[in-house]
Structure 1
Amino acid sequence: MKEHVADVGDLEPGEALALELDGPDGSLVPVALVRDEDGEFHALSDICSHGQVNLSDGEVEGSTLECWLHGSTFDLRTGRPTGLPATQPVPVYPVTIDGERVLIDLDVTANLNA
């Protein structure tokens, strides 16, 4: 189910926002909502697969998000690590823009980690 999490104007290009959303099983899911430098929105797990810290506190560079703790970088589209030390991907979730509303669907994991 798509959930309204923000409005388009809430994030400038190059910014990330930490969210806690209700998952399909009722548990809270930490999600980083990221607007890349081209203005596109992405949603991925807010927990680094290497350091277990919030990715939303890191730096957005192009279409990647860098973990602030050890410098791992993740592709915003696929969740795949693009820089060490992380070797495991993080889940990504579909984002839909409906007018000015940003919607995330936690019922679907959209990563392309295979």
Structure 2
Amino acid sequence: MNEQWADVCNIDLIPEDAPHAVAIDGREIAVYRVDGEVYATDNVCTHGEARLCDGYLEGHEIECPLHQGRFDVRTGRATCAPLTADIRIYPARLEGDRVLVRLAAAS
């Protein structure tokens, strides 16, 4: 497993109520800040080609802007219709005020 962590942004770029898109090695990742923790997922919905960074974050759920399906940003689990496939999540952590993401998929 690759243990390489990518420094993606300052925590101040991620509001508590909205995702932020970053690019890592040609992949677009959505990063989230909820209750002082950081999370990272693929940025494209598994149901349609919508970007999750354009969606609505409520608690630990990101709502797709296209068809209103939701994912839990902690687990990647699809939590309601029309979603049938989970989204890939990535390990994320804070080091000081920097957000680090590891591309080796957690799920």
**TM-score, structure 2 normalization:** 0.92
- Give the C-alpha shift of residue 4 in structure 1: 0.6
Could you tell which deviates more after superposition, 2-11 or 57-66? 2-11
Aligned partner (choices 32, 35, 49) of residue 34 of structure 1: 32
The answer for the alignment partner of 2:89 in structure 1 is: 92
The answer for the alignment partner of 1:4 in structure 2 is: 7
**Superposed CA offset, 1:51-109 (max 9, x none):** 12101100001101000000000000111100110110111000011111100000x21
- Give the C-alpha shift of residue 35 in structure 1: 1.4
RMSD: 1.0
Q: What SS is found at the alignment partner of 1:80? A: coil
Matched pairs, number: 104
Q: What SS is found at the alignment partner of 1:83? A: coil
The answer for the alignment partner of 2:73 in structure 1 is: 76
Q: Gaps spanning 5+ residues in structure 1: where? A: 23-27
- Give the C-alpha shift of residue 39 in structure 1: 3.0
The answer for the alignment partner of 1:19 in structure 2 is: 22
- The runs of at least 4 consecutive aligned structure 1 residues that moved more than 2 Å come to none
Amino acid at match of 2:92: V
The answer for the alignment partner of 1:25 in structure 2 is: none
Q: What SS is found at the alignment partner of 1:82? A: coil
Q: What SS is found at the alignment partner of 1:56? A: helix
**TM-score, structure 1 normalization:** 0.87
Q: What SS is found at the alignment partner of 1:71? A: coil
CA contact (8 A) 1:12 1:39 kept: no
Question: Which whole-Å CA distance do the structure 2 matches of 1:102 and 1:72 have between them?
Answer: 26
